[in-house]
Chains A and B, each alone.
Chain A
Amino acid sequence: MNLLSVSSPHLTRTGGTGDVMLLVILATLPGLTALTYFFGWGNLINVVWATTIAVASEALILKLRGRSLGFYLRDYSAVVTGVLLGLALPPFAPWWLTLVAVSFAIIIAKHLYGGLGNNLFNPAMIGYALVLIAFPVEMTSWIAPRSLASATGEIAPFVDTLNVIFPFHSTTTFDAMTMATPLDAFKHKGDLTAEQVWAAEAVLSAKSWMAWQFVSLGYLIGGAYLLYRKVFTWHAPISMLLTLALISAAFWLYAPNSFASPQLHLLGGATMLAAFFIITDPVTSATSVKGKLIYGGLIGLLIFMIRTWGNYPDAVAFSVLLMNFAAPFIDIYSQPRTYGHKIHK
């Protein structure tokens, strides 16, 4: 008789890691939709382009490592990295910038560490940090939202956008339309008071600011969906958002004219994307409940510190990478109390 001989448990839930990753990709849709609606086709093209590079890089390395392509590509982790970078990079980032960021993320930050599950750093953030340091000009020019882009309130046509990103046949430029991000504008406010900056900067005008808030709202909705589907727990995102909100509120209340408001911190940059799509990457974050609270909280703190006193207007990538360093250490000291044990040593 040929019966299966295995040890218990014999029952497992259906669904795999690939399904989890697909949920994450699905949850980016509200944010991507908002981005596309307000800022044009750029990010959508970036997402497609970045995903293509990510999958190609992953396939290349899997081939070199002699792994089964079908099995490993179906965990969709490379697609997630591609999508996240496509969302994070500026809408008109040239094709080679995305290529550098994504291929570095997949090949160096992920596979040289041993592939999915073994990487110490968040691959997307490594890719982002690399191009942020190497190509600061390209990385800090965002574009104006639709209401400010043209008199008619139209976004740039798809073909034009494609030509800007892949400038092989055309010399289209969108110089007139580039614009700083809200955080960038505030960062370089000089001697102006907060009130004056909000009045002076186009990006902080009511219409523009609304666009930015909608994008953040999109990520928040996606994050809430992932929480509802139990893809991750609330601990890291809420800890991060709460810490950032509280600290920025404290400084802002103390000196409202010099410090950015909590609203600007929470909705004006990549904060929501970071809270629900970046720091929730389980591979590179702390793993216990207590650990996630610490991990998220410290990322919130670092984001505030770097934005306020550092050289970069947004600070998600560096904050996350710094805490990636600390995650294994946090893990050691944040074990939960095991059943039947007294307070943990």
Chain B
Amino acid sequence: MNRGLRDFHGGIHPPENKDLSTQVAIETAPIPDKLVLPLQQHVGQQSKALVSEGDYVLKGQLIAAAEGYVSTALHAPTSGVIASIQNASIPHPSGLSGSCIIIESDRKDEWGKRLQPLDYEKVDVSELLKRIREAGIAGLGGAGFPTSVKLNPSAENTIVTLIINAAECEPYITADDMLMRERSEQVIKGIQIIAHMLKPVGCLPVECLIGIEDNKPEAAETLEQTVKQLHLEHEISVVRIPTKYPSGGEKQLIQILTGKEVPNGGIPADVGIVCQNLGTAVAVYKAVALGEPLISRITTLTGRALEHPKNLEVLIGTPIRSLLNHCGLQQIKLNRLIIGGPMMGVTINDLDTPIIKSTNCVLASTSEELPNPTPQQACIRCGMCAEACPASLLPQQLYWYSKTKDFDKALNHNLLDCIECGACTYVCPSHIPLVQYYRFAKGEIRAQEHDHTKSEHAKQRFEARQHRLAEEAAQKEAKRRERSKAAKLRQQKATIPPHNSESESNSEDKAAVIQAALERVKSKKDKTSKLTPEVSNGSAAREEE
């Protein structure tokens, strides 16, 4: 299809290394003995476990429920016994562990009750949203945002374009590529469902664009054929975009395909766009048309430390170790193990870390293909980073501001618009780990903001208290005045004789008040005098000690 494509600023062309894992068809990974299912596999609130140790669960059974709106459900990927619910390694940059449900599989892989397949054209959109939520679908592209939330844009935003992200711009990763080649019908049908859901009643259908980098000609052709077979040429367009990292960044892909920019601090829906990952479309198809929850995905196992790199259909929760062994891991060669791609992936140390819903790639690399970092040289402000930055930032300036902790200036240079794609670090001739500097600065800024809000709250609390106390005092004062005024009036009424001048009544008043005060003082003195001996005794006793 001939569309006027736009370019985005910057970008890089790292070696692709994609053909490592496209030599063989997708295989189904063997069911492991043990599955580890983190309760936090998505953006938002952690899911709430519904099972306890010793429970027997069937494949597809709900084992953890969504907690709150932005959250997802979790299902047993196979049948077995809940071994425990405990902390275990999760694929997270912090390297910290998280709460996980651990299932010991019984190898029967026995399905529980499946959900009713739905005909998407005949049921209400709310029914479809509910289904996607029930199926526990979170974006399969990497970020893991709950899909039902994304497919339910606020009423203010009219969605005109659905973008399916099939760019797969990171080197090494081929999961979406292989998915398109082998299961294009599921892909297109999933897209059809999503497009249907975004079309408000009585409105024009949304324009649907599949953005795919032109380094995947086979996948693009297969998709086009499928679109033709299903007679959807007028609804779905397969758009080949030039291969350039990070074209698969949501904001960049939107810019390439539509020329629009997601406004600062906004979401794509603000400009009438919803962007979904290709794998997510397949998950939606399975949930709606087959009634299957999200319990497996396609993951690329690649890197030169593997003898047989390939794409595997794996159960969510499969420990990476079993997959690596399946692909012929050469332990001696393994130097860096990455979940995700080489540009934005996360290194892990524990081979028992599981595959989660957003794990698109496991990269087992040798020290030759991804050499250890070299010492950093001085920044000479050559500006290659600025030329590579897809957000049009000035990385060389942000580097200085981050390094010197000049966070105001960093914010002024829009540090928070950095998407951490790593293009700047890739091109830096001085080997400065720029993204790491920005992560540090962002973290510090977040911490500062947190402290600031905390102290702001404390200040507000203090001021509210002061205000309340002052108000109470003022009320007391007002009441007192009222009382004295009333008393005055009463007195005036009581001593009505006309010859009494005002000044006299005043002086009488004062005399009465003085008298009363004196009496109060006297009674107080009596009390203190009674107390005094004890007090003095006490202090004497203390002195003796």
B421, closest chain A residue (CB): A9
Q: Are B420 and A10 in contact (CB under 8 A)?
A: no
Q: Are A11 and B380 in contact (CB under 8 A)?
A: no
Given contacts A8-B345, A115-B378, whether A341 and B386 have CB atoms under 8 Å apart is: no
What residues of B have a CB within 8 angstroms of the CB of A11 in the complex?
14, 171, 342-343, 370, 422, 426
Interface residues of B (CB under 8 A from A): 8-9, 14, 93, 95, 171, 251, 255, 261-266, 334-338, 340, 342-351, 365, 370, 372-375, 377-384, 386-387, 390-394, 396-397, 413-414, 417, 420-422, 425-431, 435-436, 439
CA A291 – CA B408 in complex, angstroms?
21
What residues of A have a CB within 8 angstroms of the CB of B264 in the complex?
338, 340-342
Q: Are A8 and B343 in contact (CB under 8 A)?
A: yes
What residues of B have a CB within 8 angstroms of the CB of A282 in the complex?
380-383
Q: Are B378 and A9 in contact (CB under 8 A)?
A: no
CA A11 – CA B420 in complex, angstroms?
13
B260, closest chain A residue (CB): A340
Given contacts A282-B382, A283-B381, whether A10 and B338 have CB atoms under 8 Å apart is: yes
| A8 touches which of B337, B344, B349, B382 (Cβ 8 Å) | B344
A239 interfacial by beta-carbon distance below 8 Å: no
What residues of A have a CB within 8 angstroms of the CB of B8 in the complex?
339
CA A280 – CA B345 in complex, angstroms?
36
Question: Min CB distance, A117 to chain B, in Å?
Answer: 4
Q: Are B435 and A17 in contact (CB under 8 A)?
A: no
Can you list 28 contacts pairing A with B, beta carbon distance less than 8 Å?
Answer: A4-B372, A5-B347, A7-B93, A8-B346, A8-B420, A9-B342, A9-B422, A10-B336, A10-B338, A12-B428, A15-B429, A17-B429, A17-B430, A75-B377, A75-B378, A115-B378, A116-B380, A231-B382, A282-B381, A285-B381, A287-B381, A287-B394, A288-B394, A336-B392, A336-B393, A339-B262, A339-B390, A341-B417
What residues of B have a CB within 8 angstroms of the CB of A118 in the complex?
378
Question: Min CB distance, B373 to chain A, in Å?
Answer: 6
Task: Render A244-273 as a binary contact track against B, CB cut-off 8 A, 1 for contact.
Answer: 000000000000000000000000000000
| B425 touches which of A9, A17, A232 (Cβ 8 Å) | A9
CA A342 – CA B264 in complex, angstroms?
8
Given contacts A282-B383, A336-B394, A338-B392, whether A5 and B95 have CB atoms under 8 Å apart is: yes
Question: Min CB distance, B504 to chain A, in Å?
Answer: 73
CA A288 – CA B347 in complex, angstroms?
33
What residues of B have a CB within 8 angstroms of the CB of A3 in the complex?
334-337, 347-349
Task: Identify whether the interface residues of A are mostly helix, strand, loop, or mixed.
Answer: loop
| B413 touches which of A231, A335, A337 (Cβ 8 Å) | A335
CA A12 – CA B392 in complex, angstroms?
20
What residues of A have a CB within 8 angstroms of the CB of B261 in the complex?
339-340
Given contacts A20-B382, A233-B387, whether A12 and B343 have CB atoms under 8 Å apart is: no
A331 interfacial by beta-carbon distance below 8 Å: yes
A71, closest chain B residue (CB): B375
Question: Min CB distance, B432 to chain A, in Å?
Answer: 10
Q: Are B417 and A340 in contact (CB under 8 A)?
A: yes
What residues of A have a CB within 8 angstroms of the CB of B378 in the complex?
17, 75, 115-118
CA A335 – CA B349 in complex, angstroms?
40
Given contacts A15-B429, A16-B430, A340-B262, whether A117 and B380 have CB atoms under 8 Å apart is: yes
What residues of A have a CB within 8 angstroms of the CB of B382 in the complex?
17, 20, 231-232, 282
Q: Are A1 and B349 in contact (CB under 8 A)?
A: yes
What residues of B have a CB within 8 angstroms of the CB of A8 in the complex?
338, 340, 342-346, 420, 422, 435
CA A1 – CA B336 in complex, angstroms?
11
What residues of A have a CB within 8 angstroms of the CB of B346 in the complex?
7-8
What residues of A have a CB within 8 angstroms of the CB of B263 in the complex?
340
What residues of A have a CB within 8 angstroms of the CB of B425 in the complex?
9, 12
CA A1 – CA B331 in complex, angstroms?
10
Given contacts A10-B370, A11-B343, A336-B394, whether A4 and B381 have CB atoms under 8 Å apart is: no
> In A15-71, which residues have CB < 8 Å from any B CB?
15-17, 19-20, 71
Q: Are A338 and B417 in contact (CB under 8 A)?
A: yes
| B381 touches which of A7, A9, A117 (Cβ 8 Å) | A117
Given contacts A13-B427, A20-B429, A339-B391, whether A7 and B439 have CB atoms under 8 Å apart is: yes
What residues of A have a CB within 8 angstroms of the CB of B439 in the complex?
7
